[in-house]
């Protein structure tokens, strides 16, 4: 689904489907959003798993 995003270089609105910003020619106008989002989700998952493992270890030991 195409949504409008802001180009990370020129801040103009660009379709999320666009491979290239039509305003400034930036090749991938939206990578920061996805990288940040998935990085944050991955980080949260790691923290939760570590906390669960720590909790289990407390029960076992």
Residues near Zn ion (CB under 5 A) are 7, 9-10, 21, 23-24, 26
Rounded to whole angstroms, how far apart are CA atoms 51 and 15?
39
- Whose tokens are 């995003």? That residue is 5
Distance of CA 27 to the CA centre of its chain: 18
Q: Which is nearer to Zn ion, 15 or 24 (CB)?
A: 24
Q: Which is nearer to Zn ion, 5 or 36 (CB)?
A: 5
Cβ at position 25, least distance to Zn ion in Å: 7
Q: Which is nearer to Zn ion, 20 or 53 (CB)?
A: 20
Q: What are phi and psi of 40, to 5 degrees?
A: -65, -45
């Amino acid at each position: 689904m195409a949504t409008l995003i802001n180009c990370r270089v020129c801040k103009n609105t660009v379709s999320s489907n666009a491979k290239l910003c039509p305003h400034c020619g930036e090749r991938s106008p939206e990578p920061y959003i996805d990288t940040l989002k998935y990085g944050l989700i991955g980080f949260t998952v790691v923290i939760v798993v570590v906390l669960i493992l720590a909790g289990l270890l407390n029960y076992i030991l």
